[in-house]
Structure 1
Amino acid sequence: MTVLANGYVQGCLPDELKKVLKSVASELGDSIHDMDTLKVIPLKGAMTNEVYQINWPTTEKGLVRKVLVRVYGEGVELFFNRDDEIRTFECMSKHGQGPRLLGRFAEGRVEEFIHAKTLSAADLRDPHTSALIAAKLREFHDLAMPGPRRVLLWDRIRNFLREAKRLCSRKDAEEFNLDALEAEIGMLEEELSRDPHPVGFCHNDLQYGNIMMDEETKLLTIIVSIVFHVYNPVAYDLANHFCEMAANYHTETPHVLDYSLYPDEEERRRFVTIYLSSEGKEPGEDEVEQLVSDAEKYTLANHLFWGLWGIISGYVNNIEFDYMEYARQRFQQYQLRKPMLSGPAVSVSQDET
């Protein structure tokens, strides 16, 4: 018996999801007469949603249809508007980015199943794969999406701070020194906004689990897992990807980050060079150095964003993941890396590494 999120069990799916799956099957030329013929396979590695592969037999003997069901985690409405998410998802699909949307239900959505390999933590360090990611990320940043090309990073961090303050116990609020964070965010925004930075449509969560590769064609697909995807400085998105190299979400301690795996300067410079040259124009050395430097500074914004996300998730999400310890590590890294900027010294967390 396979247990789904929110207490769902295979063979006892909510009526709304059953109806959606039957409709999807019909549109794909299949039919589902007996829900017991469904096979539900949990997919590991998600930290906000729960993700499942659902299979059923087709009318053609021996062939199996596969779809992906994404069940929203508890409290995800604090992070995004579901209608906005679906609009973004559909628009990206029209641009050939990611899977097709097949159906929706109250707690999630049904997506096209991509027949490709999800990357592993080690894959991000492979030079050939990393080069493919760099080129694909540039393509993603160049997407023309609806809405204003306005940087939303700082608004989102401040929204997260408000939610963290609302949810936190006094003990946790004091540990993470939340009362000091508004000034810290203002200082960081001022420092990082002194010079103009190229803005693009950013993924903002480019961890290995959100990248898939067709093993025959070697083509990459970037997966939209939750709408963190908005216009931001592209340096912030590069910084996010570099920070994700410290993570492996498929271990017994998925919340533990190993910053010895953070890419060294040579790796970062190589990634940036490929990113800038992916449209056929050879970048100058100064352009490469500038983006490498900007990405390093934006790691600080990443640590604040994901640190606050961890605190909120620790209060609202039931997925087995130590969100609070994850948050501590992100704030500790913020403190360690903060000397790269000038500005008032404000303690973000009382924990020190």
Structure 2
Amino acid sequence: MNKSPYEVFHYTVEKDNIDRGLCDIARHFVPEYRNSTDKDLTITRLNGGITNILYLVEDKSIENKPKDIPVVIRLYGYKSEEIIDRKNELVVQTEADMNGLGAKFYGLFDNGCIYGFIPGNPLEHEDLSNSKIQGLVAKEIAEWHSIEMPTRKNPSLWNTIKKWAALAPLDQYPEEKKNQYYQTLNVRQMIEESKQLEKTLATLNSPIVFCHNDLLSRNIIVNAEQDHASFIDFEYANYNFRGFELANHFNEYAGFGPDYKLYPSREQQEHFISEYLKVTQKLKASEEPSKEDIHKLYVECNQFSLASHLFWGFWSIVQAMNSEIDFDYLEYGKAHIILYLSFFLFLFLYQTQLFYFIIRMTSIQNLESVDPFAEESSIGGDTSTINYIHIRIFQRSGRKAVTTIESLPKNCNFKKILSHFKKTFSCNGSLVEDELIGTVIQLQGDHRKEYSNNYYFPIRHNLNNLIITIIISKKNLEITHPLQFCFCIKSTHINIY
């Protein structure tokens, strides 16, 4: 197949006369618009872009429109070349056009590009959890992962993070009034975290495939008539780890807020992964991927979620310094860094079996009315199938109080947990064997901490001086996203509920 033709037009769309510039660009590139006047052309700004600004340009008087019009004109964000490899983007854009993976690519001008409009509806982040849409998106991702592109086959993830991290100020933020807020992002520490994470995720041996790398909802167009999903905006497209692509897409379920109550459940993730594997494994309609393959990819995705948060955390810092788009990039970056820290700590505690108390797994809102120190009968709801770890405080007359922890899972490393408690709370403690309830941890002193009008059991860890409260269900000790395990994280500058 011949290489997709494109043209370079040396023209700059000026900020103080955008509409006129867009009309000139449309007339130059689109034969059907050559005779259209400024009044004939309708210009609509499209929602969703936080790197560039997108405009739909259409001449509604044209009947029997060819499939490639109307057109979308993208104006590059200020200094966006610092975060985007425009040469690589051009290769991807033309090759995607040639392989039927994107819209017709018309060409470039000095501060943007123009391409055909893909018919269909751009998704909202709430749409991503729809099971039918999940299947369409999973299938299209699998198709992307199967193609060959004439670009470097090395995964782009870590080099991109290093590039963006090098642009992030280590000490003083350029804008004085935002400097104090910026310091809470702890850039130096995040750079070190990225180095360690690169080594850790390498052990997963995630396949290197061609990825879109930015599958947020507005970059996905669903054509209901054709029952097909298409992707747009290939600025970050490159070879990368399969786990990163899927993890990054799952993180986008939360939207720009982000609202991680919308993060896909394990059931939703496994449905998506199953649909993806059906294509990559070339299974027949009657065949299903093995449970082992689904579980392996499920774990891979959720661990690569850490890399996704670091990726967009550093991206946000660079954008905050350069972009002229009205968007709070630092707040967005802070949200990703907080989520990175929370998930990192979750994995640490999961892998070292440091589980302290268990409350019935409910929504985050319901936790507000739960007291972990209450008697079972006062907690409410059906507790017949729920096991609790009990934390009790005994106040002895004239002596220090004693905190006891009972009914931990039998396979816990009790000595490690006791050692951690003694070091964390600077207290003495011991293990006591009880015939009825098994091993009991006893700690000298009352180690409850009041938090949000309820008593929780704080676990201190030296990472970023966070104080963590963890609420985990015995029935759900699989690695998954931390906010599905109801994390509450608090430090001087950070609050997550």
Deviation at 1:173, TM superposition (A): 5.0
CA contact (8 A) 1:97 1:221 kept: yes
CA 1:267 to 1:33, structure 2 compared with 1: closer, same or farther past 3 Å?
closer
TM-score by length of 2: 0.63
Higher RCO structure, 1 or 2 (CA under 8 Å, sep 6+): 1
Q: Distance in 2 between matches of 1:127 and 1:94?
A: 30
1:142 aligned to 2:142? Answer: no
Instruction: Look up the match of 1:326.
Output: 332
Q: SS of 1:307's equivalent?
A: helix
Instruction: Look up the match of 2:419.
Output: none
CA contact (8 A) 2:26 2:57 kept: no
Q: SS of 2:70's equivalent?
A: strand
Structure 2, unaligned runs of 5 or more: 1-12, 352-460, 466-490
Structure 1, unaligned runs of 5 or more: 248-254
Instruction: Look up the match of 2:368.
Output: none
1:44 aligned to 2:47? Answer: yes
Q: Distance in 1 between matches of 2:219 and 2:124?
A: 10
Q: SS of 2:49's equivalent?
A: coil
CA contact (8 A) 1:328 1:351 kept: no
Instruction: Look up the match of 1:216.
Output: 225
Deviation at 1:19, TM superposition (A): 4.7
Q: Distance in 2 between matches of 1:307 and 1:5?
A: 30
Of the candidates 158, 174, 177, which is equivalent to residue 186 of structure 2? Answer: 177
Residue identity (%): 27
Q: Distance in 1 between matches of 2:61 and 2:86?
A: 31
Q: Distance in 2 between matches of 1:20 and 1:5?
A: 12
Partner amino acid, structure 2, of 1:347: N
CA 1:172 to 1:291, structure 2 compared with 1: closer, same or farther past 3 Å?
same
Alpha-carbon displacement from aligned partner over 1:145-179 (angstroms, at most 9, x marks no partner): 11232112111111111111278345455221112
Partner amino acid, structure 1, of 2:51: T
Deviation at 1:227, TM superposition (A): 2.0
CA contact (8 A) 1:75 1:316 kept: yes
Instruction: Look up the match of 2:205.
Output: 196
TM-score by length of 1: 0.88
Deviation at 1:138, TM superposition (A): 0.6
Partner amino acid, structure 2, of 1:291: L
Q: Distance in 2 between matches of 1:274 and 1:335?
A: 30
1:237 aligned to 2:245? Answer: yes
CA contact (8 A) 1:80 1:228 kept: yes
Instruction: Look up the match of 1:125.
Output: 129
1:257 aligned to 2:282? Answer: no
Alpha-carbon displacement from aligned partner over 1:48-90 (angstroms, at most 9, x marks no partner): 1101111125565999952111111112111112222111100
Q: Distance in 2 between matches of 1:244 and 1:195?
A: 22
Instruction: Look up the match of 2:94.
Output: 90
CA 1:83 to 1:144, structure 2 compared with 1: closer, same or farther past 3 Å?
same
CA contact (8 A) 1:99 1:111 kept: yes
CA 1:59 to 1:291, structure 2 compared with 1: closer, same or farther past 3 Å?
closer
Q: Distance in 1 between matches of 2:155 and 2:137?
A: 23
Instruction: Look up the match of 1:283.
Output: 289
Output the aligned Cα RMSD: 2.5
Deviation at 1:234, TM superposition (A): 0.6
Instruction: Look up the match of 2:305.
Output: 299
CA 1:318 to 1:285, structure 2 compared with 1: closer, same or farther past 3 Å?
same
1:207 aligned to 2:216? Answer: yes
CA contact (8 A) 1:73 1:318 kept: yes
Alignment of 1:307-318 (within 5 A): 307-318=313-324
Q: SS of 1:165's equivalent?
A: coil
Q: SS of 1:245's equivalent?
A: helix
CA 1:171 to 1:90, structure 2 compared with 1: closer, same or farther past 3 Å?
same
Deviation at 1:199, TM superposition (A): 1.5
Q: Distance in 2 between matches of 1:202 and 1:60?
A: 37
1:347 aligned to 2:478? Answer: no
Deviation at 1:298, TM superposition (A): 0.5
Partner amino acid, structure 1, of 2:302: E
Alpha-carbon displacement from aligned partner over 1:242-281 (angstroms, at most 9, x marks no partner): 000001xxxxxxx421101101111111111111112432
Q: Distance in 2 between matches of 1:284 and 1:296?
A: 19
Q: SS of 2:102's equivalent?
A: coil
Instruction: Look up the match of 1:274.
Output: 275
Partner amino acid, structure 1, of 2:136: L
CA 1:257 to 1:190, structure 2 compared with 1: closer, same or farther past 3 Å?
same
Q: Distance in 2 between matches of 1:333 and 1:323?
A: 15
Deviation at 1:324, TM superposition (A): 0.9
Where does structure 1 differ by over 6 angstroms across 4 or more consecutive aligned residues? 61-64
Q: Distance in 1 between matches of 2:293 and 2:462?
A: 30
Partner amino acid, structure 1, of 2:26: L
| Count of residue pairs the alignment pairs up | 336
Deviation at 1:8, TM superposition (A): 3.1
CA 1:33 to 1:206, structure 2 compared with 1: closer, same or farther past 3 Å?
closer
Alignment of 1:99-114 (within 5 A): 99-114=103-118
Instruction: Look up the match of 1:250.
Output: none
Question: Higher helix share goes to which structure?
Answer: 1
